[in-house]
Structure 1
């Protein structure tokens, strides 16, 4: 007899039967896999959500037919013939020396409480993140990172997703180690949510090894360059950028926070000036208020007096590009904020205080700014006289 194909079996009449797997879609565009054929003069027509389950069904039929042809009907038992066939097929698949009751107990312990498609789980995940008050920025990050995975695997059950399925999307494209770690964080959050809902028994990437990141030294402006920047910012054709530069370089506020900061959150009093960063715009989702240094207070007061009250002016990118060209200095990402962090930490020599003002953690702050500048250079930075 010729070798059987993967979708063929021999029935109890010793005839080769072929079963076909055809992909189709329901009206709601959800895919299914249909198994059709005839075995023992009985028509087979079954639908499955995944191709792997359709193939497993054919494999199970093969084992049952083999059991029927093995002549086990003479065994005295209360089981029906169908149950005997099913048990025989199961014994043929389990490792040698393993009892069937062990397999059943393991299954009952680890079986998800509910089957849920990835696409459904994703919608509920995003809905829950909105319910608990995650910021729009965070929601957008979840949606952007997961959308291609959902498009590819949305029809599959959460319980059938493997580590390899997820890893391909974490490492996809020519992206750096930090980006991969950020993706892993989001996928980990999603599958932890699925686990809590008991749609899966274990997060498929629970043991995923994150990339080791070697923190680079922060790039910051030297005091002479800071003076150049401030002199150019006070010129008429660049004056609209002065509020942004002051808040970023002299106060250490993040660009994404400055974009949403309302000028009314800068409180001007006779004795002191206070900047309030509300939790709604703060990156760590935690409110902070602090009093800036003298040079920053003077610059903010100048902006307030001359009605320069838009921290992030219209056509910012175009204005800032011209400003960079005019100053002739090298600008890197977050260089204004890194400049403040470098000098403020060197001046106060207190990681907790610096971390609070910048809305950061002391450990991260030390990695970036520890030992970059001296206290004397920091005093030059904050005691510069403009007016």
Structure 2
């Protein structure tokens, strides 16, 4: 009876239920119940007729597995398919060490600059002691976090290594070797950042007056024109147009591979004009040793920091022109990067003194 009405019910064991759990079906007429009962019996007989093809031990294993899966709502077929997919993934996967080598080769084959390729190799190989021989499909986010945490470097450097690690796994994702990247992106952190180091006008004067003709163009292009050190090493004198007072940094010289024209301002021109008519590379092959020695001779070696000449140029240029967009274009950056990493507030009188620096003769 169901709420005072006559009804018929059928109890279905979990073994014969499509839902793989016990079911109770309710019917309002006996004919409907009988029809469903005959259908279920036929299915049970068909199921039973297949059992003789299984050994007793195998049948016992099947029943045992089904019972293990029941609490999780997983069908036997789903479990088998998932397992086979996992086996296939393992068989087709490669080790982390092999992935690093493949990514490095891929970057080089695509024409990436050797410095960038070297950075990918160096940063990627730093994690070989942690999971070099492990299949990439088995490397978890937890392992990534532990490996980065165990690097004995500054927190800011750890963020750089994590970024390169994510780049390497992104390539595996692009090659369809993984379903997802185990390296999450760096969390945005608002931290107190030190002001960029710059030279005073007096320090720049000491540097320039103490430089030989081999070193002077490098200093001038960096501190007065804001050209990147790596870009200067790729430039030749035919890119310096003295008549138009511009320097063409082509795509093959530019770090961003975007060409740009850099204006030779009056201060830079005053120091560069004696080199008009020169040819070949601006920076000689023997530059590095002489560069280091010159910094020691001028007493600026200890005060030298990464990109200090570009920071100096950016600071005094932005202070003089009071247009961040103009300075950002000069540096080949955006305004946000300029303000965050390159600019240090200085007095206008100090900037004026910087731009009035001239050779002795």
TM over 0.5: yes
Pick closer, same or farther for the CA change 1:129–1:326 going to 2, 3 Å: closer
**In structure 1, what is the equivalent of residue 161 of structure 2?**
183
Paired residues in the alignment total 304
Tell me the CA shift for residue 152 of structure 1. 5.8
Tell me the CA shift for residue 339 of structure 1. 0.8
**In structure 1, what is the equivalent of residue 227 of structure 2?**
253
Which of 288, 292, 301 is the equivalent residue of 1:321?
A: 292
Matched, 1:302 2:274: yes
Which of 237, 246, 267 is the equivalent residue of 1:263?
A: 237
**In structure 1, what is the equivalent of residue 12 of structure 2?**
none
Q: Deviations over 1:314-344 (max 9, x none)?
A: 4333323332233234322221111111101
Pick closer, same or farther for the CA change 1:91–1:275 going to 2, 3 Å: farther
**In structure 1, what is the equivalent of residue 180 of structure 2?**
202
Matched, 1:377 2:355: no
Partners of 1:299 and 1:165 in 2: CA distance: 55
**In structure 1, what is the equivalent of residue 216 of structure 2?**
242
Aligned to 1:239, what secondary structure does the other structure show? coil
Which of 112, 122, 125 is the equivalent residue of 1:134?
A: 112
Question: How much is the aligned-residue C-alpha RMSD, in angstroms?
Answer: 3.3
The worse-fitting range, judged by mean Cα deviation, of 115-124 and 275-284 is 115-124
Which is richer in helix?
Answer: 2
Pick closer, same or farther for the CA change 1:145–1:325 going to 2, 3 Å: closer
Give ranges in structure 2 of 5+ residues lacking alignment.
1-46
Q: Deviations over 1:71-129 (max 9, x none)?
A: xxxx968464537525634754x6x8421139938949x96985321244334433432
Pick closer, same or farther for the CA change 1:385–1:141 going to 2, 3 Å: closer
**In structure 2, what is the equivalent of residue 222 of structure 1?**
200
Pick closer, same or farther for the CA change 1:159–1:267 going to 2, 3 Å: same
Partners of 2:114 and 2:121 in 1: CA distance: 10
- After superposition, residues 158-173 of structure 1 pair within 5 angstroms as 158-173=136-151
Partners of 1:279 and 1:268 in 2: CA distance: 20
Partners of 1:151 and 1:280 in 2: CA distance: 36
Q: Deviations over 1:249-293 (max 9, x none)?
A: 111122222222222221222xx2211222223222322222121
Contact conserved, 1:112 with 1:200, CA < 8 A, in 2?
A: no
Q: TM-score, normalised by structure 2?
A: 0.72
Partners of 1:202 and 1:112 in 2: CA distance: 17
**In structure 2, what is the equivalent of residue 42 of structure 1?**
none
Q: TM-score, normalised by structure 1?
A: 0.68
**In structure 2, what is the equivalent of residue 368 of structure 1?**
341
Aligned to 1:240, what secondary structure does the other structure show? coil
